[in-house]
């Protein structure tokens, strides 16, 4: 792989993990009308298996990246692929409750016992993959305290858990007519992550 592509991969991984490993609070993109009552929010029922694909943009200070992602989640097993706008794979993460691995664009591979150790070892930040598997579905992580705010339609517009705040900007039904988030933003001062989910399965 050319040196330029390797440098872009490193910049992307740094920006991505800086965004995802920080505690998030609601930013300026919060939906305008909220019922500040967690009891009225219609939270999604998460599934143990899903495939999601879409686009993302990450910004931290002067660093920014945009590209695509594919996520296969089956029970405790996850496979995440991040690619550049030109379709070049930037990083692959895969694993389950017993072991996880990260393969970088330069061919380097790292392994660890769990997602936190792996991402801290390979990227310098702890990426909460277990929580993200719920949050991307519009649901709180099982067994953890959370708060939520509903939009005009009653669905969760903001979800806070484990120090993160996820703002849901749009929902779209999947093939079973179950509402799933299609656009969401996670933000923090000087940090912004936008996700657009183009397909759910």
**CATH class of the domain defined by 3-195:** mainly beta
pTM (predicted TM-score): 0.75
pLDDT at 56: 87
Q: Say how many C-beta atoms besides its own lie within 10 A of residue 54's C-beta.
A: 17
Q: Report the candidate in 67, 76, 77, 58 with the shortest Cα–Cα distance to residue 20.
A: 58
Q: Which pLDDT band holds residue 177 (cuts at 50, 70, 90)? A: low
The DSSP line for 45-73 is ---SEEEEEEEEEEEETTEEEEEEEEEEE
Query: For residue 169, is pLDDT > 80?
Result: yes
**pLDDT of res. 21:** 38
pLDDT greater than 80 at residue 93: yes
pLDDT at residue 52, rounded to an integer: 95
In whole numbers, what is the pLDDT of the chain averaged over residues?
Answer: 77
Per-residue model confidence (pLDDT) at position 79? 95
pLDDT at 181 > cutoff 90 = yes
Question: In the chain, what are the domain boundaries?
Answer: 3-195
């Amino acid at each position: 792989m050319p040196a330029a592509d390797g440098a872009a991969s490193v910049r992307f991984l740094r920006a991505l993990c800086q965004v995802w490993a920080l505690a998030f609070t609601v930013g300026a993109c919060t939906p305008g009308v909220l019922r500040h009552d967690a009891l009225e929010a219609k939270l999604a029922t998460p599934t143990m298996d899903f495939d999601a694909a879409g686009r993302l943009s990450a910004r931290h200070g002067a660093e920014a990246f945009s590209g695509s992602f594919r996520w296969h989640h089956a029970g405790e097993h996850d496979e995440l692929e991040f690619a550049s706008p030109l379709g070049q794979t930037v990083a692959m993460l895969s694993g389950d409750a017993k072991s996880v691995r990260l393969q970088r664009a330069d061919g380097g591979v790292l392994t660890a016992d769990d997602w936190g150790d792996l991402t801290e070892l390979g990227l310098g930040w702890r990426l909460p993959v277990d929580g993200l598997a719920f949050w991307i579905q519009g649901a709180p992580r099982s067994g953890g305290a959370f708060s939520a705010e509903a939009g005009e339609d009653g669905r969760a517009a903001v979800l806070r858990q484990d120090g993160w705040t996820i703002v849901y900007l749009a929902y779209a039904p999947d093939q079973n007519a179950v509402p799933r988030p299609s656009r969401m933003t996670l933000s923090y001062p000087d940090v912004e992550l936008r996700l657009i989910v183009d397909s759910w399965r």
